[in-house]
Amino acid sequence: MVWIIFNLSVVLALGMFGYKFYLKYSIDKMGADLENARATLQPETIRELTRLDNRINSSRELILEHQILSPLFGFLEASTLKTVRFSAFYYSMTGQDLQLSMKGEARGYAALALQADIFDKSQYFKNAIFSDLSLNAKGDVNFSFEAVVDPSLVSYQKEVERLGIPAPAPASTSTATSTSN
């Protein structure tokens, strides 16, 4: 029984000693493989791809934050009554908000009240205020208008989505397609 335990201990000791050399060999081989992999990565290509990625991300941020006024003008054209006209248009950025100021003329208080109701019900104007009401020589009502414009109306990204323009696919996954009439 003692000899069995002794022989088993010697075999286990030799196995551990051999395993130690095997582990050292494996670690050295993995280190060499890692160095070979690093050498094939081409650091200049990696730097160029990193710079390209940074430029793409910057462009994406610019597009997401870019604002355009053409949808605002389209909305004003569609929602302004024929008896109301605007003679001055001003806007300014206050933080993330677009502050709109306009001066205009309406053919009467009823037309102005109806226009105010249309703008109040609009999802695109917040805090819409008509002020400086006065009658001019022709009997029309002069007024000033101020509102905060909803960012979704002047968002370039939202306009592209509204127009249904597809986003460009990455070059590695693009495929040729055709349409038939």
Residue closest to 118 by CA, chosen among 96, 138, 90, 147:
147
Please give, one letter per residue, the 3-state secondary structure of the chain: CHHHHHHHHHHHHHHHHHHHHHHHHHHHHHHHHHHHHHHHCCHHHHHHHHHHHHHHHHHHHHHHHCECCHHHHHHHHHHCCCCEEEEEEEEEEECCEEEEEEEEEECCHHHHHHHHHHHHHCCCEEEEEEEEEEECCCCCEEEEEEEEECHHHHEHHHHHHHHCCCCCCCHHHCCCCCCCC
Per-residue model confidence (pLDDT) at position 173: 44
* pLDDT of 176: 43
The reported pTM is: 0.59
Question: How far is C-alpha 151 from the geometric centre of its chain's CA atoms?
Answer: 12
31 and 85 belong to one structural domain: no
Judge if 83 and 43 occupy the same domain: no
Q: Are residues 81 and 54 in the same domain?
A: no
In this prediction, residue 167 carries a pLDDT of: 55
Closest listed residue to residue 99, CA positions, set 134, 70, 128 = 128
* Residue range(s) defining the domain that contains residue 153: 70-162
On whether both 158 and 76 belong to a single domain, the answer is: yes
pLDDT at 94: 82
Give the model's pLDDT for residue 166: 66
| Percentage of the chain modeled with pLDDT above 70 | 91
- If asked whether residues 86 and 119 sit together in one domain, one would say yes
Measured distance between the N- and C-terminal CA atoms of the chain, rounded to whole angstroms: 91
- Same domain for 56 and 138, yes or no, is no
Quick one: pLDDT at residue 117? 94
Positions of the chain with pLDDT under 70? 165-181
